[in-house]
Amino acid sequence: MTEENHKGPSRRAFLTGAGVAAAGTLAGGASAAQTDPGIAIHPWMQELGDGVDVAPYGMPSPHEADVKRRTVEWLTADPVSSINFTPLHDLDGTITPNGLCFERHHSGVAEVDPAKHRLMINGLVDKPLVLTMDDLHRFPRENHVYFLECAANSGMEWRGSQLNGCQFTHGMIHNVQYTGVPLRLVLEEAGVKPEGKWLLAEGADAAAMSRSIPMEKALDDCLVAFKMNGEALRPEQGYPVRLVVPGWEGNMWVKWLRRLEAGDQPWHHREETSKYTDLMADGVARRFTWEMDAKSVITSPSPQAPITHGPGPTVLTGLAWSGRGTIPRVDVTLDGGITWHQARMDGPSTPKALHRFYFDFEWDGKPLLLQSRAHDSTGYVQPTKDTLRAVRGENSIYHNNGIQTWAVDADGKAENVEIS
């Protein structure tokens, strides 16, 4: 059997690639197969494995032990009011596994007993309510996949490239299927008075995290959620109940939700004044930047996911999202923006959820400058970091949706750089 018997483009591409040993095997060369020590009788082929129930709650293979959330120790003074990051470079598809969803806590993970937990609805309502978890489970429920992005995601990159890996530059995001009760139904049960134009959501953690939400949004697509990816919310994500505020900054998604108060104006609490506002060049802070603008990142190749196979067929992949809708298109460049190619979108495309893109190319072994640029369903196009800074100045931390660059060298190693 020779190369010429297989003229399919992808087949040829593999055979002419630099993976010599692999190419030999793929060509069906008997000698190559015989010399590959991987073709052996391994221990796992000769003995019985664990029976069922050895792990009543299943865990990943020990070979995947490196796939985990990571923090950056110098970012915060204490792990109790801190952040860790989703390992985006190790994941594929669009759903974030529950154990890998990044965590952001202001007073650590509240350990809530669901039997003792209550959700109070008070303020400008006809009938103040106190709901148990059992009460909540009797409202009609829905399932929706949404991304949650912390407004501080990529904040360390505002003034220039800093952290070496998409886990750290873009990993304050997760994408989960939530099961929950539309917030509208809970508010209708309490009967919001006509003056009730705002809603305060408050958490049961020691930080008593609270945010003001316009009633229009509360009645639109928010959920009072108790399940993530089919199972109970993890304690880190707000067990037993959290608010889901689709497309809006993660800070508003109050975890361990204990109270909803209807009011006639916003409360201007700490998290919507001193924090999560954008300090503009003139020293005036822009308040209430709720919607997350369209953004994307190449997850592989990237600093934590270098090219290790040498020149030849190479899979480039990444994630894109918009707080305003879907992502019909992502462009990628291999040469720092001189030429752009349209990536292939793959997987479900639903509003305010992560989208997966691929660009399969032949790497010639020369250095690359990789970037991706998302277009959302409103026609908005992800800006360069320079464009953003021209509007917002240098003081910002939050709401950085600028284009990210990875420089790949001839060895396939990737590094965070800025060329905007």
Ligand X SMILES: Nc1nc2c(c(=O)[nH]1)N[C@H]1C(S)=C(S)[C@@H](COP(=O)(O)O)O[C@H]1N2
Q: Is 250 in the site for Mo ion (CB under 5 A)?
A: yes
- For 155, list phi and psi in degrees, rounded to 5: -60, -35
The 3-state DSSP class for residue 46 equals coil
Residue 239: contacted member of Mo ion, ligand X, none (CB under 5 to 8 Å, by partner type): none
Interaction mask 194-223, Mo ion, x per CB under 5 A: ------------------------------
Q: Which is nearer to Mo ion, 150 or 199 (CB)?
A: 150
Question: What does the block give as tokens for 53?
Answer: 């129930």
Closest distance to Mo ion from the beta carbon of 100 (Å): 17
Q: Which residue number has the CB closest to Mo ion?
A: 150
Q: Which is nearer to ligand X, 97 or 310 (CB)?
A: 97
Q: Which residue number has the CB closest to ligand X?
A: 203
Among 100, 131, 136, 150, binds Mo ion (CB under 5 A): 150
Question: What DSSP line would sit under 117-183, residue for residue?
Answer: --EEEEESBSS-EEE-HHHHTTS--EEEEEEEE-TTTTGGGTTS---SSHHHHH-SEEEEEEEEEEH
| CA dihedral for 253, 259, 261, 266, sign (positive or negative) | negative
Q: Which is nearer to ligand X, 176 or 343 (CB)?
A: 176
Report the distance separating Cα 313 and Cα 158, nearest Å: 34
The 3-state DSSP class for residue 391 equals helix
Closest distance to Mo ion from the beta carbon of 235 (Å): 18
Q: Which residues contact 280 (CB under 8 A, 6 or more apart)?
A: 286, 392, 393, 395, 396
Selection from 277, 274, 216 nearest residue 249 by Cα: 277
Report the distance separating Cα 13 and Cα 119, nearest Å: 59
Question: What does the block give as tokens for 150?
Answer: 């912390």
To which residue do tokens 């103040």 refer?
128
Among 251, 296, 317, 382, binds Mo ion (CB under 5 A): 251
Q: Which is nearer to ligand X, 15 or 204 (CB)?
A: 204
Contact window for Mo ion (CB under 5 A) among 223-231, 246-254, 306-314, 392-400: 246-254
Closest distance to ligand X from the beta carbon of 9 (Å): 42
Report the distance separating Cα 343 and Cα 317, nearest Å: 9
| Count of chain residues binding Mo ion (CB under 5 A) | 4
228 neighbors 237 (Cβ within 8 angstroms) = yes
Query: Radius of gyration (Cα) for the chain, nearest Å?
Result: 24
Q: Which is nearer to ligand X, 148 or 222 (CB)?
A: 148
Residues that bind ligand X (CB under 6 A): 101-106, 148, 150, 174, 203, 205, 207, 209, 236-237, 250-251, 253-256
Q: Which is nearer to ligand X, 27 or 208 (CB)?
A: 208
Residue 256: contacted member of ligand X, Mo ion, none (CB under 5 to 8 Å, by partner type): ligand X
Report the distance separating Cα 36 and Cα 387, nearest Å: 52
Interaction mask 46-85, Mo ion, x per CB under 5 A: ----------------------------------------
Q: Which is nearer to Mo ion, 276 or 359 (CB)?
A: 276
Question: What does the block give as tokens for 78?
Answer: 């204490």
Q: Which is nearer to ligand X, 226 or 358 (CB)?
A: 226
Report the distance separating Cα 308 and Cα 311, nearest Å: 9
Instruction: List the alpha helices (DSSP H) in 289-377.
Output: none
Closest distance to Mo ion from the beta carbon of 254 (Å): 11
Write the Ramachandran bin of 82: left for phi over 0, alpha for psi from -120 to 50, otherwise beta.
Answer: beta
Closest distance to Mo ion from the beta carbon of 326 (Å): 23
Closest distance to Mo ion from the beta carbon of 379 (Å): 28
Residue 205: contacted member of ligand X, Mo ion, none (CB under 5 to 8 Å, by partner type): ligand X
Closest distance to ligand X from the beta carbon of 289 (Å): 13
Q: Which is nearer to Mo ion, 242 or 375 (CB)?
A: 242
Closest distance to ligand X from the beta carbon of 261 (Å): 15
To which residue do tokens 């009645």 refer?
219
Question: Which residues sit at the interface with Mo ion, rule CB under 5 A?
Answer: 104, 150, 250-251
